[in-house]
């Protein structure tokens, strides 16, 4: 057999491969994106459902750490005596912690969900923790530093820990 028929067959195969790359791979990618949006990890579902009454949501971030996914949701709002009483997180049983955290933060509340996930809420008052809060504007940081606003950080994780 001569080389010409093999080249034609190879040409058809190459054309099919190019067609697969151009059409099929984008469809698979779109399907994966839709699946991720429709079925987010439980940490994201809990974060999305959590609000703090009277507070504005500043940001929501995902971080993959060695122990698993941790989602942080940041809120800013008025200065109140017990901001942990304003946290609404469906399915969580929250407990007052009232303990100092790292310098510049105060651990307000901790809770468990029935699916093995957890929520921890900190009040950030200043120092490095305040500088590390993403999406917070300089004017918002100044308001917190002057005691005019509170920043709360809710962290969501699942499993041990």
In the chain, the percentage of residues whose pLDDT exceeds 70 is 76
Q: Is the confidence at residue 161, as pLDDT, over 60? A: no
Q: Which of 58-62, 101-105, 140-144 has the lowest mean pLDDT?
A: 101-105
Is residue 106 classed exposed, middle or buried when 0-12, 13-18 and 19+ CB atoms within 10 A define those classes? middle
Q: pLDDT band at 30, cuts 50/70/90?
A: low
pLDDT at residue 137, as a whole number: 92
pLDDT at residue 36, as a whole number: 46
Query: 99 and 107 in contact (C-beta within 8 Å)?
Result: yes
If you average pLDDT over every residue of the chain, what do you get? 85
pLDDT at residue 61, as a whole number: 94
pLDDT at residue 90, as a whole number: 97
pLDDT at residue 130, as a whole number: 84
Indicate the helix (H) or strand (E) that contains 73.
Answer: strand 68-77
Model's pTM, two decimal places?
0.75
Q: Is the confidence at residue 73, as pLDDT, over 80? A: yes
Task: Please count the CA atoms within 13 angstroms of the CA of 43 that sit on its side-chain side.
Answer: 18
Within 10 angstroms of residue 51's Cβ, the number of other Cβ atoms is 16
Q: Is the confidence at residue 34, as pLDDT, over 60? A: no
For the record, the structure tokens of 53 come out as 């009454």
pLDDT at residue 6, as a whole number: 64
Alpha-helical runs (H) found in 20-137:
25-38, 42-49, 127-131
pLDDT at residue 104, as a whole number: 81
pLDDT tens column, 118-154: 999 999 987 888 888 888 999 999 999 899 999 999 9
């Amino acid at each position: 057999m001569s080389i010409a028929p093999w080249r034609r067959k190879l040409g058809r195969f190459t054309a099919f491969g190019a067609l697969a790359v151009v059409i099929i791979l984008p469809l698979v990618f779109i399907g994966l994106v839709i699946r991720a949006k429709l079925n987010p990890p439980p940490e994201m579902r809990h974060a999305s459902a959590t609000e703090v009454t009277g507070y504005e949501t500043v940001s929501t971030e995902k971080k993959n750490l060695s122990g698993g996914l941790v989602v942080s949701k940041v809120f800013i709002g008025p200065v109140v005596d017990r901001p942990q009483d304003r946290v609404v997180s469906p399915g969580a049983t929250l407990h007052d912690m009232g303990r100092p955290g790292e310098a510049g933060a105060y651990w307000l509340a901790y809770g468990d969900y029935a699916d093995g996930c957890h929520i921890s809420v900190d009040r950030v008052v200043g120092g490095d923790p305040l500088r590390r809060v993403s999406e917070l504007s300089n004017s918002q940081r100044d308001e917190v530093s002057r005691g005019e606003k509170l920043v709360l950080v809710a962290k969501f994780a699942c499993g041990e820990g």
